[in-house]
C-alpha cells in the first residue's frame, strides 16, 4: 500500500513527533524512508549579500545534521537528502521525483511556531503536493508524554 515515504523535517522540536510517527508508519508498511531537509532559498535571498554564502553553508550543515539524526531512530535504512529551494515546492518536487506514496510533516516547524493551526510550509505542502500528506500535530506539553486535550 505504501512503498515510499518522505519525512519532511526541519529539525525543530515540534517536528520530532512527526518523525517518530512517520518512522512507525514506515515500519508498519515496510516502506522505504526518505528524510528531507530543505534549505529555504528565501531565507538566503533575504540576508545581506556579503553573508549569503556563509549562511548557505551553515544551513547546509544544519540540514545534514538534521537528516543524519533520522536514521539513528529508525529500524531500517533511511535515504537522506538536503535540497535548496522554496520548502513546499522542494518537498513536493522531491516526493514526485522519488514516486513517494505519502509525505509526513509536522504542523509547525521553525518558521511556523506563531501559526495557530498549521504552519505555513505544512499548509503549502498539503495544498500543492501531488501525493497524500500526513500532518502530525505536536502534543501541547511537548513531543513526549504531552496531551492533546485543549487548555481550559
What pLDDT, on the 0 to 100 scale, is given for residue 127?
A: 92
Rounded distance, CA 69 to CA 64, Å?
A: 9
What pLDDT, on the 0 to 100 scale, is given for residue 71?
A: 96
Q: Which residue has the higher pLDDT, 3 or 115?
A: 3
pLDDT exceeds cutoff 80 at 147: no
pLDDT exceeds cutoff 90 at 152: no
User: In residues, how long is the chain?
Assistant: 152
pLDDT exceeds cutoff 80 at 20: yes
What pLDDT, on the 0 to 100 scale, is given for residue 122?
A: 86
* Strand 4-8 to 32-40 pairing: parallel
What pLDDT, on the 0 to 100 scale, is given for residue 14?
A: 77
pLDDT, tens digit, 9 for 90 and up, residues 96-141: 999 999 999 988 654 444 444 446 888 889 999 999 999 988 766 5
- Lookup: cell for 145: 508524554
**Residues paired with 11 in a beta bridge:** none
Say which residue the cell 498549521 belongs to: 118
Q: Which residue has the higher pLDDT, 16 or 111?
A: 16
Count Cβ neighbours within 10 Å for each residue of 5-39 and write b for 16 or more, e otherwise.
Answer: bbbbbbbbebbbbbbebbbebbeeeebbbbbbbbb
Confidence of residue 13 (pLDDT cuts 50, 70, 90): confident
Architecture of domain 4-136: 3-Layer(aba) Sandwich (3.40)
3-class secondary structure, 34? strand
Q: Are 129 and 103 in contact (CB under 8 A)?
A: yes
Q: Look at residues 79, 78, 104 and name the one whose alpha carbon lies nearest to residue 91.
A: 104
pLDDT, tens digit, 9 for 90 and up, residues 47-82: 999 999 999 999 999 999 999 999 999 989 999 999
Rounded distance, CA 137 to CA 3, Å?
A: 23
Rounded distance, CA 110 to CA 9, Å?
A: 10
What pLDDT, on the 0 to 100 scale, is given for residue 114?
A: 43
Q: Are 143 and 14 in contact (CB under 8 A)?
A: yes
Q: Which residue has the higher pLDDT, 151 or 85?
A: 85
Question: What is the reported pTM?
Answer: 0.84
Amino acid at each position: 500500500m505504501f512503498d515510499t515515504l518522505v519525512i519532511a523535517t526541519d529539525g525543530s522540536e515540534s517536528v520530532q513527533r512527526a518523525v517518530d510517527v512517520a518512522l512507525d508508519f514506515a515500519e508498519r508498511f515496510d516502506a522505504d524512508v526518505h528524510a528531507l531537509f530543505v534549505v529555504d532559498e528565501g531565507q538566503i535571498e533575504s540576508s545581506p549579500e556579503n553573508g549569503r554564502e556563509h549562511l548557505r553553508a551553515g544551513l547546509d550543515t544544519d540540514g545534514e545534521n538534521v537528516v543524519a539524526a533520522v536514521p539513528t531512530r529508525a529500524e531500517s535504512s533511511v535515504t537522506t537528502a538536503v535540497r535548496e529551494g522554496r520548502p513546499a515546492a522542494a518537498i513536493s518536487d522531491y516526493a514526485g521525483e522519488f514516486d513517494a506514496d505519502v509525505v509526513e510533516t509536522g504542523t509547525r516547524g521553525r518558521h511556523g511556531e506563531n501559526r495557530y493551526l498549521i504552519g505555513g510550509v505544512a499548509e503549502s505542502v498539503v495544498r500543492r503536493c501531488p501525493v497524500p500528506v500526513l500532518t502530525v500535530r505536536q502534543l501541547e506539553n511537548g513531543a513526549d508524554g504531552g496531551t492533546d486535550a485543549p487548555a481550559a
